[in-house]
C-alpha cells in the first residue's frame, strides 16, 4: 500500500485534503486501538498521531514500510525518536500550529492567578463579597522568566509585549536568541530575578522532574508558576510544598504528572491540589483550540509536502 497514510486520531480534514492532492491515500481511523494499529501498520508508509498513541520500538519494528510519522501537535515524547531515526523514519510535528493557542492560554492562566479570578468567582456565587481578600497584582514592571525559547516560549513572550514587563528567557539548547520580546539570560538570572516562571520545554530524560523542591528552593523571590509544557517536567508535590512555603504565589497548571481520571484522583497529592485556591487547573488544552485544530493540520500538510518533494 505505497503512499498510504494511517490516521489514528482526530485531525482537521484539511490535512487529508492536501495529502491526497499530493497523491497519498488517507485511511482515517480516529477510534482505532493501538493493538489493532499494530497489526496493520506494516501496510502503511505514513502515520498521523496526536497524544493518545505511543510509537514504541515494538510498533516501529512492525512498521516495515513506514517512512514518516506526523504528530498533530508539538511534543514528540510519545515517539521513540532515537529508534525512529535509526530506521530512517522522518518525524514531523506542528509546533507552529498551536503556539498562538499556548501563548494565549499561558497569559490567561497568569492573569487569572494574579487577580484571583477563580477564587472571587466562587466566593460571589456562594454569596460572599470580599474585595480586600481578592486584591490582585499587576503585570506591569514584573520580570517574567521563560524556560525554553522555541515556538511556544516565543509566542508567550510576544503575547506579553504589551504588558510592559521585563521578559528574560533561558534555553539550554540555543544561544544568541535575544529579540524584541525577550532577553537571553542564564538559569542563574532566571532564578534570581523572576516574578513569574513559565515552562515551554519538551519532556526528555533531562527535563523529567526538573522542577523539584531543590530547584524551587533557589528562587530569590516568590513567583507565579505556569506550566503549559508537559506535566512530568514539574513535580506536583514540590509545587504544592512551595505554595505552602510561600515560594509560589499561585500555580497555573494545564498539565500534570498524572492526567485523566481515575488515575489522577488516586495520586497522593490530588486532594491537596483540588482544594488549593492558589492553583488553577485546565485539562491539557492549552494548545487545543478551534483555531489550532485547523492550523496544526495545515502545518503538518505543508511539512509533508516539503518531505514529499
The residues annotated as belonging to the active site are 230, 259, 284
Taking the C-alpha atoms of residue 304 and residue 293, their distance in angstroms, rounded to an integer, is 17
Q: Residue 193 burial (CB < 10 Å; 0-12/13-18/19+)?
A: middle
- Are the C-beta atoms of residues 68 and 45 closer than 8 Å to each other? yes
Cα distance between residue 150 and residue 302, in whole Å: 19
* Cis peptide preceding 96, ω within 30 of 0: no
CB of 46 closer than 8 Å to CB of 63: no
- The residue assigned the cell 505543508 is 302
Cell of 133: 481578600
Question: Taking Cα atoms as reference points, which of 235, 263, 262, 266 lies closest to residue 251?
Answer: 235
157-165 CB contacts, 8 Å cutoff, 24+ apart: 157/181, 157/182, 158/103, 159/103, 159/104, 159/106, 159/107, 160/107, 163/139, 164/139, 164/140, 165/139, 165/140, 165/141
Contact 271, 134 (CB under 8 A): no
Strand ranges, E, within the chain: 4-7, 25-28, 46-49, 68-71, 90-92, 143-147, 166-170, 183-184, 196-199, 223-227, 248-253, 279-281
Q: In 3D, which of 155, 136, 166, 139 has the Cα closest to residue 74?
A: 155
Amino acid at each position: 500500500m505505497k503512499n498510504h497514510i494511517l490516521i489514528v486520531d482526530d485531525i482537521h480534514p484539511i490535512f487529508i485534503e492536501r495529502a491526497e492532492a499530493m497523491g497519498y491515500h488517507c485511511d482515517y481511523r480516529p477510534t482505532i486501538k493501538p493493538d489493532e494499529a499494530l497489526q496493520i501498520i506494516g501496510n502503511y508508509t505514513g502515520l498521523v498521531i496526536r497524544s493518545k498513541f505511543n510509537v514504541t520500538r515494538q510498533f516501529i519494528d512492525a512498521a516495515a514500510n513506514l517512512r514518516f510519522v506526523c504528530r498533530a501537535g508539538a511534543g514528540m515524547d510519545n515517539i521513540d525518536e532515537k529508534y525512529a531515526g535509526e530506521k530512517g523514519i522522518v518525524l514531523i510535528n506542528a509546533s507552529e500550529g498551536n503556539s498562538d493557542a499556548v501563548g494565549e492560554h499561558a497569559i490567561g492562566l497568569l492573569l487569572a492567578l494574579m487577580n484571583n479570578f477563580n477564587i472571587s468567582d466562587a466566593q460571589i456565587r456562594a454569596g460572599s463579597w470580599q474585595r480586600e481578600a481578592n486584591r490582585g497584582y499587576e503585570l506591569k514592571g514584573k520580570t517574567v522568566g521563560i524556560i525554553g525559547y522555541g515556538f511556544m516560549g516565543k509566542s508567550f513572550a510576544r503575547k506579553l509585549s504589551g504588558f510592559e514587563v521585563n521578559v528574560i528567557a533561558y534555553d539550554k539548547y540555543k544561544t544568541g536568541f535575544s529579540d524584541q520580546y525577550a532577553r537571553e539570560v542564564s538559569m542563574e538570572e532566571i532564578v534570581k530575578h523572576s516574578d513569574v516562571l513559565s515552562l515551554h520545554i519538551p519532556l526528555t530524560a533531562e527535563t523529567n522532574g526538573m522542577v523539584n523542591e531543590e530547584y524551587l528552593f533557589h528562587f530569590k523571590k516568590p513567583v507565579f508558576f505556569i506550566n503549559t509544557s508537559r506535566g512530568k517536567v514539574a513535580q506536583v508535590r514540590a509545587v504544592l510544598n512551595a505554595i505552602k512555603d510561600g515560594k509560589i504565589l499561585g500555580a497555573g497548571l494545564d498539565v500534570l504528572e498524572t492526567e485523566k481520571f481515575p488515575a489522577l484522583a488516586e495520586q497522593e497529592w490530588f486532594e491537596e491540589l483540588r482544594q488549593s485556591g492558589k492553583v488553577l487547573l485546565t485539562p491539557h488544552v492549552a494548545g487545543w483550540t478551534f483555531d489550532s485544530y485547523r492550523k496544526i493540520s495545515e502545518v503538518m500538510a505543508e511539512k509533508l509536502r516539503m518531505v514529499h518533494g
